[in-house]
Structure 1
């Protein structure tokens, strides 16, 4: 059985062949760049030529911590650097579309943050601009590359649990949003900026749903303006379903972050260790029960890497392979429009899709 698990590990390993590497510049020097993007890129041996942030002191501090030799003083300086082929944009969501437009004019390939755009129409416009310029744009939906999720997907694709028929995420945690003032003030919160990860991961395993239902709420007295509790159901062709039950207002300290995939011949279950005492976290776990192999009960897969920082290498690796080989990146922006559309469909259900239970029965 060890050799079967080793085969899964080989399948999900993130690497970038030397011939695929390109000069990279990073726009944005916030915490996620500091603790995730740059450590992951360094681990893959990628060349980050420089960092730019409107706060030049912050950019300089981040560059120094990661041994990056250049701090750009302006956006124009970034985009005029002919040694930079790829720009990694890591800024607040409303600033991203204009940066994408400018970078496309400068003929740079792009890795963008999620959500890719505020709405599908804007996202489609940006993708069309990139396509017309012959440029590649991918989205940093890195949960797909978290080792536990990636190994689970590889097991499904290998047929270990037969045909996947159901998937769920159960996340019951306490999230302090105060580190991101703009998130605290956002009227759309949980699905747009958190569950978007789970939705993209579900799409990577089950494909695209045909209908959705969702409800959202807030805890009385919570700090954030937007929704922090959601329950969503995704309906696929046939009998396949997915459910997300997410609560960021756990007051009891008994936090959990679990996922499960059920199939016709087995099941897979795991935990997202990062979300236990975020951002400290703990290792992920993953187990598979298979009638196909078969396993003797639940078999543990040895997860060795964490979502932060290592999964952040995946979207960049996919983009670089796309540039070098023409193999479309798993999170190519055009495909990611479907994840964005799914997010907005869920908000549409929250706003308009409820059916009241009759009172006069």
Structure 2
């Protein structure tokens, strides 16, 4: 019996494509560049609005070029793929320059601050025919990727429900750009869980969501959310997030659970334990098809940060190599953004919002 869960990110045969990065912040330092080093990807340049940050990362990761500007990066004919790691408000103008130069692009999430902005990016990429993907990397987190294999093999039977629960303390105020925005938790955190659930279960019909602040919090936006998703038939999903757990880390948890008529898979999202160091994901599953009452507990290797970042860039590179659309394409990501903006409309109007309403 084959119990290999096939969860490691698939990498391109040709790893020599030249990558340049826009942005030198924490996520690039702690996730993008460590992942690309592990994968053997070829990063040739970097730029940032704070030149010193780009220079420091270039020295740390032996990146040969530090560009003075995005324009200089885009003008470099050696660069084949541009990895954008900046805020959503800056992304459209950068994408416009990148695709005008005929370069492939890995966009940051959220793809757009509005659904119209995201569609504009999709249209720009489509018009010139470049490959364009979104860094929704939780699809390649070990626990989620292994669950995908279990679902595809039919070991859960007919899917009935999914739950992702997070109860931790996240100091959102440490990211200055997050302090002032009104759309915080769903747009910048639960967007990952929405995309992962859609990756595993398909796209829901409607969303009913509620978001709340915590007394005395510094950030403007919501830091507690409950998101209910209805799928066709009897399938349902729930995301329950609280980022204000004031107890010590022994009380924190970040779990997922997917259930079906023939099986159950459950596990932990190790990246949120002992953050930012994190730990490896855990997974256990029960399947009537394999054994009537035995819980399989495979040992997973790797974490969401940084290992899953090999998956997003690797999938884009494989799409270029195989001349196809990446599974995490900008067009595909519009469906995840419909979920995000449906959640915010639901919060505002206190009602279920059908995804078809987000156009």
Deviations 1:61-107 (A, max 9, x none): 01111111111112121001111110000012211111111111111
Query: Deviations for 1:198-240, whole angstroms, at most 9, x for unmatched residues?
Result: 0000000110000110111111111211100001100000000
State the distance in 2 between where 1:121 and 1:94 align: 12
Decide whether the 8 Å contact of 1:20 with 1:324 is kept in 2: no
1:354 CA displacement:
4.1
Give the deviation of 1:125 after TM superposition. Answer: 1.6
Secondary structure of the corresponding residue to residue 5 of structure 1:
coil
8 Å CA contact 2:265–2:283 kept in 1: the answer is yes
What value does the CA root-mean-square deviation take over the aligned residues? 1.3
Deviation (angstroms), 1:20: 5.6
* Mapped partners of 1:125, 1:331: distance in 2: 17
Name 2:310's counterpart in structure 1. 313
Are 1:165 and 2:148 matched, yes or no? Answer: no
Q: Which runs of 5+ in 2 are unaligned?
A: 353-359
Report what 1:148 is aligned to: 143
SS in structure 1 of the partner of residue 307 of structure 2: helix
**For residues 162 and 225 of structure 2, what CA distance do their matches in structure 1 show?**
16
2:264 is aligned with 1:270: no
C-alpha change, 1:266 and 1:18, in structure 2 (3 Å) is: closer
Q: Which TM-score applies when normalising by structure 2?
A: 0.95
1:327 to 324, 327, 334: 324
* Further displaced range: 77-86 or 289-298: 289-298
Structure 2 residue matching 1:233: 3-state secondary structure: strand
Kindly provide the CA deviation profile for residues 173-217 of structure 1, in whole angstroms up to 9, marking residues without a partner as x.
101113201112111100000000000000001100001101111
Counterpart in 1 of 2:227? 232
CA distance in 2, matches of 1:257, 1:182: 25
Structure 1 residues 293-351: Cα deviation after superposition (integer angstroms, max 9, x where no partner) = 12642211211101111101111111111111023212100010110111000000000
Distance 1:287 1:177 in 2: 31
Distance in 2 of aligned mates of 1:306 and 1:291: 28
The size of the alignment, in residue pairs, is 350
Secondary structure of the structure 1 residue equivalent to 2:45: strand
Q: TM-score, normalised by structure 1?
A: 0.94
Equivalent residue for 1:30? 25
Q: Does 2:48 correspond to 1:48?
A: no
Q: Counterparts in 2 of 1:240-319, with a 5 A limit?
A: 240-253=235-248, 254-294=251-291, 296-319=293-316
State the 1:127 CA deviation: 1.1
Instruction: Write the distance in 2 (CA, Å) between the matches of 1:295 and 1:56.
Output: 59
Partner of 1:196: 191
How far, CA to CA, are the matches of 2:310 and 2:144 in structure 1?
Answer: 15
Unmatched 5+ stretches in structure 1:
356-361
User: Where does residue 210 of structure 1 map in the other structure?
Assistant: 205
**Partner SS for 1:138:** strand
Assess if the C-alpha contact under 8 Å between 2:161 and 2:236 holds in 1.
yes
Runs of 4+ that moved beyond 3 A: none
Which of 65, 73, 93 is the equivalent residue of 1:70? 65
